[in-house]
């Protein structure tokens, strides 16, 4: 059958579904604060992805945005990275 049609496919695509996978770019697999994987949501959230993004610090450490913001906002004076105690500055 295939030989007889000289490499020409005798089918027609009616429809196809594209599938994509995504993964956060981070220096670690999981958030040091909640210990949940970055590709899952923080333990306060239900859906991973845009609803629960990952924030990078200038010190190279990453956390779920919700986790690190909760920690930074709870600190009165020094807003430090919980991993390395350098001043926390998030990379935009």
Q: Among residues 70, 59, 75, 76, which one has the least CA distance to residue 33? A: 70
- Interaction of residue 53 with other proteins, rule CB under 8 A: no
- Interaction of residue 62 with other proteins, rule CB under 8 A: no
- Interaction of residue 59 with other proteins, rule CB under 8 A: no
- Interaction of residue 46 with other proteins, rule CB under 8 A: yes
Question: Which CB, 8 or 23, lies closer to other proteins?
Answer: 23
Judge whether 14 and 36 are in contact, CB under 8 Å.
no
- Interaction of residue 26 with other proteins, rule CB under 8 A: no
5 backbone dihedrals φ, ψ, rounded to 5°? -105, 10
**Burial grade of 62 (CB within 10 A; 0-12, 13-18, 19 or more):** buried
Question: Which CB, 5 or 13, lies closer to other proteins?
Answer: 13
- Interaction of residue 40 with other proteins, rule CB under 8 A: no
């Amino acid at each position: 059958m295939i030989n007889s049609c000289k490499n020409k496919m005798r089918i027609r695509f009616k429809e196809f579904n594209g599938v994509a996978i995504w993964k956060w770019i981070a220096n670690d697999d999981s958030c040091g604060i909640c210990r949940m994987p970055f590709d899952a949501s923080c333990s306060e959230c239900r859906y991973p992805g845009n609803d629960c993004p990952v924030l990078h610090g200038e010190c190279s450490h990453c956390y779920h945005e919700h986790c690190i913001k909760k920690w930074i906002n709870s600190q009165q004076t020094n807003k430090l990275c919980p991993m390395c105690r350098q001043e926390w500055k998030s990379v935009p």
